[in-house]
Amino acid sequence: MKLYRKVRTEQSDRFIVNVLDDHWGQRKGAQNSKGSTKVINTPNFSKKLAEAVGIMLGDGSVYVNKNYGIYQVRIAGNIVNEKPYLIKFIKPLFEKLFGISGRIIRKPQFGTVYIAFDSRELVDFLMQIGVYTSLRKSRNGIPKWIKLNKGFLVPCLRGLIDTDGSVHRLSNKDPQLIRISFKNSNKVLLEDVKQSFSILAFHPSKIITRQVFLTRKADIKRFAKLIGFSNAKNKERLDKLSPIV
């Protein structure tokens, strides 16, 4: 189109039927293709898949632009203290589950690092098992196939706490009292996390300021034993605050 503007004449304009923008060919090709076509392994329901779902519900997102054939799954983390978790745990976990390679995207200006997977099949599969696109993320809860199986619920909660959870003191006045919290703006997911802790015989708090807490000492100790952490940042934090656990 840019070239035509340079050479156009009144005579040539008479033969123009339609004017297309500069990117029409790229979009047309994308619409006729399958998108970012990386064929994936389709895993069965498993503990590892349940943990991957927890990770996606916490820090994951799905970006789709059908016009340009872009189908991308991303997991984000803090570039300072979560890079080892993303690169050494999440990337190999997803690559082994789905049989495709991920890309590391660093955004130091935003303090963020991403693991990105470009595959329409992966996007479709995640939606099929209950992980929606970012446009519907506010409706995301823990999928039923996980909630109905305690063996899957444990690793899913691990993925959720590793991404959107934290370990901290209850207050400076009570340094021996430790909290494990889960914070998220999605009310559906918060309710599911609270309910899931109850199903596993924990004693979660009410939802307060978009958070659910475990505070009882017995719950903290049992969490460390039953659920634990794949994110070393959280485990190191708990060991530092409460070595006896």
Q: pLDDT by residue (tens digit) across 33-66?
A: 444 567 899 999 999 999 999 999 999 998 888 8
Q: What is the pLDDT of residue 137?
A: 58
Which regions of the chain does DSSP assign to beta strands (E)?
60-65, 70-78, 103-107, 112-118, 165-171, 174-183, 211-214
Q: Residue 26: is its pLDDT beyond 50?
A: no
Q: What is the pLDDT of residue 177?
A: 83
CATH number of 156-241: 3.10.28.10
Percent of the chain with pLDDT over 70: 79
CA angle 87, 89, 90 (to 5 degrees): 75
**Residue with the larger pLDDT of the pair 3 and 176:** 176
Lowest mean pLDDT across 2-11, 46-55, 99-108, 115-124: 2-11
Average pLDDT over residues 107-111: 93
**What confidence tier does 110 reach under pLDDT thresholds 50, 70, 90?**
very high
**Residue with the larger pLDDT of the pair 17 and 114:** 114
Q: What is the pLDDT of residues 151-173, one digit of tens each?
A: 999 999 999 999 999 998 877 67
Beta bridge partners of 117: 73
Q: Residue 28: is its pLDDT beyond 50?
A: no
Q: Residue 31: is its pLDDT beyond 50?
A: no
Q: What is the pLDDT of residue 210?
A: 93
Q: Residue 105: is its pLDDT beyond 90?
A: yes
Q: What is the pLDDT of residues 200-212, one digit of tens each?
A: 999 999 999 999 9
CATH 3.10.28.10 in the chain is located at: 47-140, 156-241
HSE-CB for 94 with a 13 A CA cutoff: 30
Q: What is the pLDDT of residue 38?
A: 77
**Residue with the larger pLDDT of the pair 136 and 44:** 44
Question: Selecting from 3.30.70.920, 3.10.28.10, 3.30.70.870, 2.10.260.10, what CATH number does the domain 47-140 have?
Answer: 3.10.28.10
As a whole number of angstroms, the distance between CA 131 and CA 137 comes to 8
The tokens for 133 are 């696109």
Q: Mean pLDDT across the chain, nearest whole number?
A: 85
Q: What is the pLDDT of residue 101?
A: 95
Sign of CA dihedral 179, 204, 62, 44: positive
